[in-house]
Amino acid sequence: MRIFLTGATGFIGSAVIPELLAAGHSVVGATRSEEGAQTLEKAGVTPFRGTLEEPEGLRAGAEAADAVMHLAFDHDFSRFVENCEKDRRVIAALGGALEGSSRPLLITSGTGLGSGHDGGMAREDITNFDHPNPRVASEQAAEELLARGVNVSVVRLPQVHDTRRQGLISPLIEIARAKGAVAYVGDGANRWPAGHLSDVARLYRLAIERAERGARYHAVGEEGISARVIADTLGRGMKLPVVSISPETAGEHFGWMGGFVSLDFPASNAITREKLGWTPTGPSLVADLEAAHYG
């Protein structure tokens, strides 16, 4: 297939590219810069100039493709709500280019959207459109496309990690460095799911090849690692004290991360494994944190 890929130069997108090429697909990768275009060309990818701020400009890439994979997202979490609405517009534009065909669109969301109204383990067969996470905008956009007959499916991400980056844990590391201590909230029993970068990249390939309309997949290698375990691992690696703080002071200590640090959102991968024959094999989150270089 000729696959149009947004986020092609990003952390996950750059790992998806070799997966796709090794499977015999050709890739057209969206990038906003000349530097990004050169990086893509070296990787064997045809560059396409476009930005999330101008979603209609991405339509030409989608219109010329056999399949579209949307991985790009503006990760300025201080503007999270605004960026989620931007993602809604991009998904609508990409899907509009595919309307009237069976060509698949694979978008990206978060595992939290699979958590029901009563909380608990997030599952692929649940989509909570009333979830307070602003990322619900992405799945609302997908649902609107499904209603119009577009072949759209979703990969939901946990904390995606290797030894260089670890999702929302990476900004926690910077906060700990600035504060001189690694903090967790309360007893630190709240859990975050995780997936190794190599496993996540392989899942994206399997999902676009399956092209199942309306499917949701969880790129989860570990259902949930407690905040206390994460903090203790960071403390050892960074040689910093590990402290508990109260929920009332989380906003002051963590800044924009205050709304995330105490969340408990474990996620299952059972349906994903069964549908795609996908078995995570990469290192665990703790193993990558232990092998990371904190400078």
**Residues 149 and 255 reside in one and the same domain:** no
**Residues 216 and 230 reside in one and the same domain:** no
* Domain assignment of residue 273, yes or no: no
pLDDT > 90 in the chain, percent? 92
**Residues 176 and 153 reside in one and the same domain:** no
**Phi–psi pair at 108, nearest 5 degrees:** -125, 140
**Phi–psi pair at 246, nearest 5 degrees:** -80, 155
Q: Is the pLDDT of residue 51 over 90?
A: yes
Q: Which of 127-131, 137-141, 211-215, 268-272 has the lowest mean pLDDT?
A: 127-131
Which residues touch 236 (CB under 8 Å, ≥6 apart)? 290
> Model-level pTM?
0.96
Q: Is the pLDDT of residue 184 over 80?
A: yes
**Residues 51 and 156 reside in one and the same domain:** yes
Q: Which residues of 132-168 are buried (b: 16+ CB within 10 A; e: fewer)?
A: ebbbbbbbbbbeebeeeebbbbbbbbbbbbbeebbbb
Q: For residue range 192-237, what is the model confidence (pLDDT) as tens digits?
A: 999 999 999 999 999 999 999 999 999 999 999 999 999 999 999 9
6 neighbors 69 (Cβ within 8 angstroms) = yes
Number of domains in the chain: 2
- Which domain CATH number covers 64? 3.40.50.720
Which residues touch 249 (CB under 8 Å, ≥6 apart)? none
* Angle (deg, nearest 10), helices 13-22 and 197-210: 50
Domain residue limits at 251: 168-193+223-266+283-291
Q: Is the pLDDT of residue 295 over 80?
A: no
Question: Mean of the pLDDT values across residues 123-128?
Answer: 94
Calculate the alpha carbon distances from 201 to 70, 151, 153 in Å.
Answer: 13, 21, 16
Q: For residue range 268-286, what is the model confidence (pLDDT) as tens digits?
A: 999 999 999 999 999 999 9
* Domain assignment of residue 246, yes or no: yes
**Residues 105 and 203 reside in one and the same domain:** yes
